[in-house]
């Protein structure tokens, strides 16, 4: 509603600078929302990958500690107990080869969310030690 006291032009919408109406209004907001969603997804994936890296480092340290115990001539149960002290859900395999003992430690990690359908990730590490006491 325009009254006669209002100068002409204040009640009319301004023309679009490129002609016609602005049909892309709000597009920047939608693009920003998608970009933010993608950024959050990348951040979550990066944090999960850092967790997997930490788990791999723990598996490696577990294999080294178990190999030291095996080199002292301890029983396989003690070797497995040492490996599981650092990685509770570890699978431990001890193999004697000549004067050396090889300890392999494995752990399975299930990815989160929809990626779980691809199956678990297996982390493994092996460590070799010279037997201090020959059997």
Reported as a pLDDT band with limits 50, 70 and 90, residue 17 is: low
Residue 40 confidence (pLDDT): 94
Do residues 102 and 128 make contact, with C-beta atoms less than 8 angstroms apart? yes
Q: Which two tokens stand for residue 133?
A: 């006491």
Sheet of 91-97, strands arranged across? 91-97, 100-109, 121-130
CA atoms of 69 and 127, how far apart (whole Å)? 11
Do residues 61 and 86 make contact, with C-beta atoms less than 8 angstroms apart? yes
Residue 104 confidence (pLDDT): 96
pTM of the predicted protein model: 0.71
Instruction: Tell me the pLDDT tens digit for each residue of 74-128.
Output: 999 999 999 999 999 999 999 988 889 999 999 999 988 888 888 899 999 999 9
Percent of the chain with pLDDT over 90: 56
CA atoms of 83 and 121, how far apart (whole Å)? 19
- List, in sequence order, every residue forming a beta bridge with 130; answer none if it has no partner: 100
User: Which residues contact residue 14 at a Cβ distance below 8 angstroms, ignoring those fewer than 6 apart?
Assistant: none
């Amino acid at each position: 509603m325009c009254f006669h006291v209002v100068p002409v032009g204040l009640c009319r919408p301004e023309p679009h600078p490129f002609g016609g109406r602005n049909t892309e209004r709000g597009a920047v907001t939608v693009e920003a929302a998608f970009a933010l969603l993608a950024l959050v997804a990348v951040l979550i994936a990066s944090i999960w990958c850092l967790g997997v890296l930490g788990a791999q480092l723990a598996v490696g340290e577990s294999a080294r500690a178990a190999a030291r115990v095996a080199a002292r001539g301890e029983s396989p149960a003690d070797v497995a107990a040492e490996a599981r002290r650092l990685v509770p859900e570890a699978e431990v395999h001890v193999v004697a080869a000549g004067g050396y003992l090889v300890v392999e430690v494995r752990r399975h990690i299930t990815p989160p969310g929809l990626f779980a359908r691809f199956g678990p990730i297996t982390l493994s590490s092996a460590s070799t030690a010279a037997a201090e006491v020959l059997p």
